[in-house]
């Protein structure tokens, strides 16, 4: 299906043209038919000669109903710009064109109506001058008369060509359906309608209701008055919602795919002025929604917009900003849906410089560089997918910032070794806080030579042992005590008497002068080599009991010592009872 909206000055024959094209009455209200004036949105449809389905959204042309017009044009990909031959270009023609141009709608037709009343060529020529330089400057023109039928067949053919040229939206895209009507049907409950621009809707789908986070389920689905199980955008759809009261929904509320949109009240935007200056107090029009906002200009075309309620948005969204006093409009491109605060001195100017350098449609690379750290899921909520490799878990990091953090981490670890030789380096958690990292896994991913992580601490491998004289003296006392029986490790109490408290032992282990085989079992590092030499002299394989006798020690020491030598690859198990020296020592 393809959806096209009308646009143009009041009483230029938009609704009459829709009736002739479809055989349907787009004016739904009795007052509209009585006054011959479109007040609200109208909907009609037909099948084109190619077999394609075309839905038409008829919008009001009167200046008092610009809000309704914006709700109709906002979600659709193409327009029919209607100008009457006997009146030509008029004020609302200009206002509607400003909206279309600000939204960047490039697909459309120029339709000159009432060709039976005046020469359509003059009106077309005048309109062409107005369209020049806008998004509709290349629109095909057709002259018609809804009274005589002149040009109607040509218009249908032009609509068929327009439909064929429209881009095909992705059926896999996340759904965002802006509600334009909400009503109740006896026996069914609440029904809402809207234009589905992309994605797929199916019966049974669960959707989020606006920025509330409330989940609702699709109980029934219609498209062009036909019951369907599933429909893809672009399409006009009606949804019967389960467990939803009419008071819960209204025009301007969006139904969205869960966990695929950012519901936000603060966005950074790029402005494209169209027909005047937007003041500080403004209204954002996106889809069928109108949200009051406050504008803070950061640069020439960069601003921060704060809204009065959360709205589901993606980076790259196009919208309209309107000044309610002057009726000026500006096109808006959403640059960031979760922008950083601007509390530091000069932060607004820096933000303006950065955002001004971004392309028309921001990339994930732009966003990661700005935020420094983003999870893959956070990027998806912003409407972008990862363009670079993940650095840890699901985290993406700005490469330049990542390199700087690696240097900082090494400096922090070296400073820790100098500050506290008994406990060098720093804990992973302290490093995370010092570097401003959101996840400890990022600290571990940052570690590269000469850094290493050991027992939850970041250490520098090439740092020379910086043991205080007291610890070195305690190690010497241990060596002296074990001079004649090198494998008779002292009990814990004796270690303390020698000066080897818990911190001193840990420092000695890190410095490579001690080995800690188990709690309270500590030996000088050189005993590893001595043990392998003695065990190599035994008949292979040997038992733990034979090793204990050869090393002249106790079971308390020999079992963890053998396990330690296994880990180093000096020995290996042959079976449950015996080991052998590997020869790799």
Q: What is 469-581's CATH number? A: 1.10.10.10
According to the model, what pLDDT value does residue 559 have?
96
Closest residue by Cα to residue 10 from 129, 90, 98, 77: 90
Q: What is 399-460's CATH number? A: 1.10.10.10
d(CA 284, CA 282): 7
Q: Is 487 exposed, middle or buried (0-12, 13-18, 19+ CB in 10 A)?
A: buried
According to the model, what pLDDT value does residue 25 have?
79
Q: Which CATH class is domain 176-256?
A: mainly beta
d(CA 477, CA 434): 39
d(CA 353, CA 350): 5
- pLDDT averaged over consecutive 10-residue blocks of the chain (585 residues)? 88 90 68 41 89 87 52 78 95 89 92 96 96 95 96 97 93 94 90 93 94 88 93 92 90 94 96 82 92 94 96 94 85 96 92 96 94 94 87 89 91 74 74 92 88 78 65 91 95 94 86 89 93 94 96 96 92 94 70
Per CATH, the architecture of 2-165 is what? Answer: 3-Layer(aba) Sandwich (3.40)
Domain ranges (residues) in the chain: 2-165, 176-256, 262-362, 399-460, 469-581
Cβ 104 vs Cβ 331: under 8 Å: yes
Three-class SS of residue 264?
strand
Closest residue by Cα to residue 437 from 467, 462, 409: 409
According to the model, what pLDDT value does residue 63 have?
46
Helix (H) or strand (E) holding 121: helix 120-131
Closest residue by Cα to residue 78 from 57, 106, 52: 106
CA distances from 33 to 28, 52, 359 (A): 8, 29, 47
d(CA 66, CA 131): 20
Structure-token pair, residue 125: 């020529």
According to the model, what pLDDT value does residue 327 have?
76
544: left (phi over 0), alpha (psi -120 to 50) or beta: alpha
For the chain, helix, strand, coil in percent to 5 are 30, 30, 40
Cβ 425 vs Cβ 416: under 8 Å: yes
Read off the pTM.
Answer: 0.76
Backbone angles phi, psi at 528, to 5 degrees: -60, -50
176-256 and 262-362: identical CATH topology: yes
Cβ 444 vs Cβ 472: under 8 Å: no
Q: What is 262-362's CATH number? A: 2.40.30.10
């Amino acid at each position: 299906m393809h959806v096209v909206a009308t646009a143009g000055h009041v009483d230029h024959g938009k609704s009459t043209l829709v009736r002739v094209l479809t055989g349907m009455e787009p004016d739904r209200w009795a007052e509209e038919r009585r006054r011959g004036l479109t007040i609200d949105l109208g909907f009609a449809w037909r099948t084109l000669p190619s077999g394609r389905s075309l839905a038409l959204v008829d919008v009001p042309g009167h200046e008092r109903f610009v809000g309704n017009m914006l709700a109709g044009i906002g979600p659709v990909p193409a327009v029919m710009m209607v100008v009457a031959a006997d009146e030509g270009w008029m004020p609302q023609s200009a206002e509607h064109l400003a909206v279309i141009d600000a939204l960047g709608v490039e697909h459309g037709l120029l339709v000159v109506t009432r060709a039976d009343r005046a020469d359509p060529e003059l009106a077309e020529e005048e309109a062409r001058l107005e369209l020049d330089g806008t998004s509709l400057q290349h629109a095909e023109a057709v002259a018609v008369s809804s009274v005589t039928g002149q040009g109607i067949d040509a218009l249908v053919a032009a609509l068929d060509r327009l439909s064929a040229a429209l881009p095909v939206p992705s059926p896999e895209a996340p759904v965002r359906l802006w509600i334009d009507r909400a009503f109740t049907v006896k026996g069914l409950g609440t029904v809402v309608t809207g234009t589905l621009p992309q994605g797929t809707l199916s019966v049974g789908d669960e959707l989020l209701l606006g920025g509330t986070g409330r989940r609702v389920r699709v109980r029934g689905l219609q498209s062009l008055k036909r019951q369907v199980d599933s429909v893809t955008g672009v399409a006009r759809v009606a949804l019967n919602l389960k467990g939803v009261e009419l008071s819960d929904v209204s025009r301007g509320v969006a139904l969205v795919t869960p966990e695929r949109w950012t519901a936000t009240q603060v966005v950074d935007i790029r402005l494209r002025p169209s027909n005047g200056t937007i003041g500080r107090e403004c209204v954002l029009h996106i889809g069928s929604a109108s949200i009051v906002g406050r504008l803070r200009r950061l640069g020439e075309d960069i601003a921060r917009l704060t809204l009065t309620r959360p709205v589901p948005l993606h980076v790259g969204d196009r919208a309209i900003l309107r000044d309610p006093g002057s009726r000026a409009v500006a096109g808006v491109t959403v640059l960031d849906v979760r922008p950083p605060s601007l509390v530091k001195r000069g932060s607004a100017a820096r933000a303006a410089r950065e955002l001004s350098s971004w392309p028309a449609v921001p990339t994930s690379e732009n966003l990661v560089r700005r935020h420094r750290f983003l999870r893959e899921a956070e990027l998806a909520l912003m409407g972008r997918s990862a363009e670079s490799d993940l650095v840890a878990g699901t985290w993406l990091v700005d490469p330049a910032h990542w390199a700087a953090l690696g240097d900082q981490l090494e400096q922090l670890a070296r400073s820790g070794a100098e500050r506290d030789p008994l406990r060098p380096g720093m804990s992973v958690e302290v490093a995370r806080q010092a570097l401003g990292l959101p996840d400890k896994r990022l600290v571990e991913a940052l570690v590269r030579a000469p850094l290493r992580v050991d027992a939850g601490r970041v250490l520098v491998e090439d740092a020379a042992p910086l043991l205080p004289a007291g610890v070195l003296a305690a190690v010497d006392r241990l060596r002296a005590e074990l001079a004649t029986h090198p494998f008779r490790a002292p009990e814990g109490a004796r270690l303390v008497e020698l000066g080897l408290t818990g911190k001193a032992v840990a420092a000695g282990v890190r410095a490579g002068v001690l080995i800690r085989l188990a709690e309270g079992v500590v030996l000088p590092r050189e005993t590893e080599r001595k043990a392998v030499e003695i065990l190599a002299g035994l008949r292979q394989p040997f038992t733990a009991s034979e090793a204990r006798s050869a090393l002249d020690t106790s079971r308390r020491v020999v079992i963890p010592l053998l396990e330690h030598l296994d880990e180093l690859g000096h020995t290996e198990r042959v079976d449950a009872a015996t080991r052998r020296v590997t020869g790799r020592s």
